[in-house]
Amino acid sequence: MTEFIEGDVKALYSSGSADRVRLLVGYEGDDSVVDELEADIEALDGEVIDHVGRVTLRVGLPESHVESLCNLSDVVSVERDKRDVDLQDGTDFQPRTSSMM
């Protein structure tokens, strides 16, 4: 059951657009769950771009299939991949490499 869906993702629910969007999809379960989830994403005309950590997938799929993705049984969270967002002023934010302490 999905526990968290980012507001920007919910805003795509009514989109009928074929434009592709990149999302971070959190799931719960073991390797058999991820195999099934990857197949479900591909069935939505999506692709798994890579694995992020132990329980997150970076995926790309058409905006028109976002709601169906969010309703998959093993999905627990969905948010926009911030690297997929173009900033209007062209600023490219880089992670800090030094400690804050």
pLDDT, residue 50, reads: 95
Q: Which residues are CB-neighbours of 65 under 8 A, at least 6 positions away?
A: 44, 45, 46
Is residue 17 in some structural domain? yes
Is residue 94 in some structural domain? no
Say whether pLDDT at 3 is over 80: yes
Higher pLDDT, 89 or 50: 50
DSSP state of 64: G
Is residue 77 in some structural domain? yes
Alpha carbon distance 23, 49 (integer Å)? 10
**Identity of residue 7:** G
Is residue 43 in some structural domain? yes
pLDDT, residue 61, reads: 96
Is residue 23 in some structural domain? yes
- How does the average pLDDT of the chain come out, rounded? 86
For the stretch 8-54, pLDDT in tens is: 999 999 999 999 999 999 999 888 899 999 999 999 999 999 999 89
Domain span at residue 68?
Answer: 4-84
Is residue 99 in some structural domain? no
Alpha helix ranges (H) inside the chain = 7-10, 31-43, 66-70
Is residue 95 in some structural domain? no
| Number of domains the chain contains | 1
Domain of 11, CATH number, reads 3.30.70.80
pLDDT, residue 84, reads: 57
